[in-house]
Amino acid sequence: MSYQHPSLAAGRWGQMSFVEQMAHIGSEVERALNWRAKQNEAFCQKALDRAFELVDLTLEKPGTYPRRRELARVREALADYFFGDNEYGSNEGLWKKYFLHFAFAARRNR
């Protein structure tokens, strides 16, 4: 399999904390939202591909059950927002706010 983030997939990702991983996922989601607002679907799709890749790498990592469950739900809701009918009723502001907390926490823990 070809990864967008080869060094992370090779093992560096597993060394990061869950909060750091979520902050990185959030930055890719933020990029996707920004490209979507600029109506550049190709770049939006590339950012989403990277975000989903990071989510999948996190789900593959053995961890505590509640976090895996939350992350699987986030993946489902992101797919619904960007590709589905937005049945969960999420919006750009909700996604930015959700991931911003992880960015602050990751920065604080450095």
Contacts of 28 (CB under 8 A, 6+ apart): 47, 48, 50, 51, 54
pLDDT of 14 reads 79
Distance CA 102, CA 44 (A): 21
The two counts, helices (H) then strands (E), for the chain are: 5, 0
Phi-psi region of 77 (alpha: psi -120 to 50; beta: other; left: phi over 0): alpha
- The radius of gyration computed from the CA coordinates of the chain, to the nearest angstrom, equals 14
Distance CA 100, CA 10 (A): 26
Other residues' Cβ atoms within 10 Å of the Cβ of residue 67: 15
95 vs 2, more confident: 95
Indicate the pLDDT class of residue 7, thresholds 50, 70 and 90.
low
pLDDT of 9-46, one tens digit each?
557 777 888 899 999 999 999 999 999 999 999 999 99
pLDDT of 63-78, one tens digit each?
666 788 889 999 999 9
